[in-house]
Amino acid sequence: MLVFSGKCLCGKVTYESHAEPITIFNCHCEDCRRATGSVFGTNLFVPEDKVEILGEVSSYSHFSDSGSTMTKKFCNNCGSLLFGKNSAKINVISIRAGTVDQIELIKPVINLFMDSRVPTTSINKDLKQASRMPS
Ligand SMILES: [Zn+2]
Ligand SMILES: [Zn+2]
């Protein structure tokens, strides 16, 4: 059953998730800021085997603070960042919230890496906060 879908800016990469998000985070870490070009990144985490991706993606890998390999996947035509994979998380991928079609589904539960947020970013006080990544 389709739960949500999404696409990149040019539409050459599309996806369908057949599962509800496991969780949704706003991440204010420097990596998310630089990768998205925005002051924070919102990610939906979903079971990898429930997401069907159509179209060509390119990828870029780097190491996180904790030493795991983080792989970013983006459209090789328009450059939109769509997906992320943390090597430490089995069968989980993250989907960048800005690419989701069903925007009413985007309900973050926590703001992470508040230590490195851009000071002018407004924060929803109803959500939980963490200074870095909770273990
Ligand atoms: Zn594209
Ligand atoms: Zn981050």
Q: Per-residue pLDDT tens for 95-132?
A: 999 999 999 999 999 999 999 999 999 999 999 999 98
Distances (CA, A) of 72 to 36, 113, 117, 131: 10, 19, 21, 23
Give the fold, CATH level 3, of 4-129. 2.170.150
As a whole number of angstroms, the distance between CA 74 and CA 80 comes to: 5
Q: What is the pLDDT of residues 50-68, one digit of tens each?
A: 999 999 999 999 998 889 9
According to the model, what pLDDT value does residue 125 have? 95
The percentage of residues in the chain with a pLDDT greater than 70, rounded to a whole number, is 99
Q: For residue 28, give the ligand nearest its CA.
A: 2
How many angstroms is it from 25 CA to the middle of ligand 2?
Answer: 9
Ligand 1 mean position, distance from CA 57 (Å): 9
Instruction: Report domain extents, the chain.
Output: 4-129
For residue 100, report the distance from its CA to the centre of ligand 2, in Å.
Answer: 18
